[in-house]
Structure 1
């Protein structure tokens, strides 16, 4: 299969799944297994193109970010609380991710871990949807520090491929009393520093390999995946926010369980 076609396919997978509670990393790992190419060669690519999807959030929510920036210049307390909550929510993953980076990377090629994480995560979503009380906290700036920190630690579960960063933060928010749309948007905003940090680490570690294109996956290939994931994510995020504002997360849970079970069966029988 032509390498640019692989980049486009993975870019589409990333753009569709990054902000849905279904695990973009897990889907990228399963895609590499299903298409039958070297997962290790594409590991850095899979992380870096997530930044394309993150850029979609900056574009879609530019008015929010501009209002926060103006508020900071006017010393508006709401703007400062917004920034505070995003940074505090990011802190646990920054520290734990830095300490455990080698163990985390060792899991990135394990498709069986992804399959089990998809199934367990789907069951967790169904349970939280059933038993979590309706959230009363509306607005990222209104979230108390304790709950923000709790969501930050819950996000760290997504270091296990297949758990889903967006799923962990959204469902963590719901279980801690945050309103549905606010939980989803906080997950989006929290993704920016989280993925910028992860991408920076990958660029530093694999800069020479990407620059030379020695493995066949150079910066040109990464650029294609980045652009595709950016465009697709813009479409998906708009549709996702519209959907979850009116419906629940159960369809995503059942999707996770079905895909995880199918992947587990395929990995066992191949």
Structure 2
């Protein structure tokens, strides 16, 4: 398989899975394993193309960010509340991420952990979907500070590859009674500081390896992940509004089970 095709495949996987509750890191690990990619080389590539998926949120929600920015200058309460909630939810990930980053690097090489996390996460989503009693919150600005902190703590579960950052934050928000759409959008907005921080840290750590990569391949993966993420985010909100998160839960269970069968057979 040519490097160009590999870059396109990994860009698609990143774009499809980054904001869905199915774990982008887990899928990239499994995809690399399935296709026989060199871990040292393609793991760095996966880090380098992640900004493409991050940019998709900025483009799709540019009006929201513009409104919040101008609102902060005018000290509007809703803009202050929105910014406060995103920042306080982001802080636990910083503390936990820095504390256990060495253990995270070790887990990133373990495809079996990913498979089991997909299955357990899928079951958890089904249970939460059945038991949660969401209320209409109508936007991230209307989430309380206490709820935002708890959502941030739930996000920390995503240090385990396969858990899913978006899945942990969305399900954490729903257990607090936050409606599906607000929970999903909170996850999108919280992704910006979380993913930017993690990506910058990893790109600095692996800066020499990234410089050794073919920049044209990184550009291809970046563009593909951006375009695919744009389409997926729109479709995701439509599915969640109509059908909830159960389709993603069943997908996780099936994908994780198939991965386990394959991993234990090789």
TM-score greater than 0.5 by the shorter chain: yes
1:204-251, Cα deviation, whole Å (9 max, x unpaired):
11111211x2xxx34332222111100000011011111111221111
> Within the alignment, does 1:229 sit opposite 2:228 as a pair?
no
2:92 equivalent in structure 1: 92
TM-score w.r.t. structure 2 length?
A: 0.97
SS of the residue 1:137 aligns to:
coil
| Range moving further from structure 2, 231-240 or 243-252 | 243-252
CA distance, structure 1, for counterparts of residue 19 and residue 9 of structure 2: 17
CA contact (8 A) 1:135 1:174 kept: no
* Number of aligned residue pairs: 266
> Within the alignment, does 1:185 sit opposite 2:185 as a pair?
yes
CA distance, structure 1, for counterparts of residue 8 and residue 132 of structure 2: 38
Cα distance, 1:177 vs. partner? 1.0
> Within the alignment, does 1:66 sit opposite 2:66 as a pair?
yes
| 2:264 aligns with one of 240, 264, 268 | 268
CA contact (8 A) 1:40 1:109 kept: no
CA distance, structure 1, for counterparts of residue 48 and residue 264 of structure 2: 30
SS of the residue 2:41 aligns to:
coil
CA contact (8 A) 2:134 2:176 kept: no
CA distance, structure 2, for counterparts of residue 88 and residue 99 of structure 1: 18
> Within the alignment, does 1:133 sit opposite 2:106 as a pair?
no
TM-score w.r.t. structure 1 length?
A: 0.96
CA distance, structure 2, for counterparts of residue 243 and residue 94 of structure 1: 31
CA distance, structure 2, for counterparts of residue 254 and residue 104 of structure 1: 26
CA distance, structure 2, for counterparts of residue 40 and residue 155 of structure 1: 26
| Range moving further from structure 2, 43-52 or 124-133 | 43-52
Cα distance, 1:194 vs. partner? 0.4
CA distance, structure 2, for counterparts of residue 97 and residue 219 of structure 1: 28
Cα pair distance change 1:191/1:185, threshold 3 Å: same
CA distance, structure 1, for counterparts of residue 116 and residue 236 of structure 2: 25
2:162 equivalent in structure 1: 162
CA contact (8 A) 2:44 2:209 kept: no
CA distance, structure 1, for counterparts of residue 11 and residue 40 of structure 2: 17
2:15 equivalent in structure 1: 15
RMSD: 1.0
CA distance, structure 2, for counterparts of residue 101 and residue 222 of structure 1: 25
SS of the residue 1:20 aligns to:
coil
CA distance, structure 2, for counterparts of residue 48 and residue 107 of structure 1: 19
2:235 equivalent in structure 1: 239
2:209 equivalent in structure 1: 209
CA distance, structure 1, for counterparts of residue 241 and residue 249 of structure 2: 17
Structure 1, unpaired ranges of 5+:
none
Cα distance, 1:136 vs. partner? 3.5
